[in-house]
Amino acid sequence: MAKQKRLGYAVVGLGRIAQKAVLPAFRHSREAKLEAVVSGDASKARRLAARYGASAWYGYEDYDRCLADPRVEAVFIATDNATHARYSVRAAEAGRHVLCEKPMATTVEECREMIRACRNHRVRLMIAYRKYFEPASLALKRLVETGQLGRLKIIHSAFTFLLPRKSRGREWHLQSPAAGGGALVDVGVYAVNSIRWLTGAEPVEASAYPWSADRERFRDAEESIAFQLRFPGGLFAQASASFGAARASFLNVMGEKGWAALDPAYAFDDERRLFGEIGGRWFEKRFPIMDEFALELDALARGVREAEDPEPDGWEGLRDVAVMQAIHRAADDGGWVPIRLP
């Protein structure tokens, strides 16, 4: 059988996540190949292209030239949140497939623009949610889908990390126009998407409480936020996200027959542990660290090859943004607000 040609990618945006996870993932990918990198820093682009074997590097001002390169068939968008839509739409218009980091964009309308552009130009759009592929989360989802936990009643989740005062390359996280929010959109999005994905249900109301210990530093974006989501059928979820605590994450799901927890739940460089109790019997399983970003790269490549929209698609990203906008409205209003999903 002839070997499948690997999908050629350009990585757009060479910040922390690109350097720590996305670029190294091509070494572990079976179906994707790094062809180019794009950055506003020419020396960094040249250096990282050489380190990871990209055949070309470009500045942001040369993005259209990158998209015209026939070796570049898809882009991985890893820029600041406010430019996700811009770079995704331009890629779609050039006939290039799009794998975009989360959150998909800063507004629902930007998400719609991305979906429209990819649909109109017949390219695939995927949002970079690793939980759809990594084994520990899939094992937890099987417990939910097979009814082993019974009817779900409560979900708790949190994701925190300490954003150092001198955080080189990460200060845009504190600038609301660039980020679209603070801890909620950066790490709270993991809980929003995971809860929706696990349950297959959509929340109908949200409430929230934001706070910042350093109000001067976090004047444009919340340092921490706690939020609640109400679902039809009596399910209630509550979660927290913060830039002000040591790195930690968990996802606890409680049903009428049992409960299960994933801890740590969201960081990509920790061994995961799935444990709980069903029918009075304890269970526990450990999942070794693996390259979850390579799984994402390969998933889009398969979608392109098989002419199918990969999961999670743009609509999943859009709905998460809609939920987070409702959470921010609730934080501003101080009460429950309805969530209206497209």
- Distance from C-alpha of 239 to C-alpha of 188, rounded to nearest angstrom: 8
Q: The sheet that has 272-278: what strands, in order across it?
A: 281-287, 272-278, 258-262, 244-255, 152-162, 236-242, 224-230, 205-211, 337-338
Q: What is the mean pLDDT of the chain?
A: 94
Instruction: State the pLDDT at residue 170.
Output: 56
pLDDT for residue 215 is more than 90:
no
| Cβ atoms of 224 and 210 closer than 8 Å | yes
Q: What end-to-end distance do the CA atoms of the chain give, in Å?
A: 44
CATH assignment of 7-130+293-313? 3.40.50.720
Residues with catalytic annotation?
102, 190
The pLDDT tens digits for 265-295 are: 999 999 999 999 999 999 999 999 999 999 9
- Residue 332: CB partners within 8 Å, gap ≥ 6? none
Each domain of the chain, given as residue ranges in start order, spans 7-130+293-313, 131-289+322-338
Q: What is the pLDDT of residues 258-269, one digit of tens each?
A: 999 999 999 999
The domain defined by 131-289+322-338 folds into Dihydrodipicolinate Reductase; domain 2 (3.30.360)
Q: Which two structure tokens, joined as six digits, stand for 132? A: 């759809």
Q: Has residue 1 got a pLDDT over 50?
A: no
Q: Determine the average pLDDT of the residues in 5-18.
A: 96
Mean pLDDT of 194-207: 98
CA quadruple 178, 183, 184, 186: dihedral positive or negative? positive
Q: Could you give the CA distance from residue 55 to residue 44 in angstroms, rounded to a whole number? A: 15
Q: What 3-state DSSP class applies to 279?
A: coil
What residue has token string 């999670």? Answer: 312
CA distance 25 to 52: 10
**178 pLDDT band (50/70/90 cuts)?**
low
Q: What is the mean pLDDT of residues 80-100?
A: 97
Token pair 């084994």 in the structure block, residue: 135
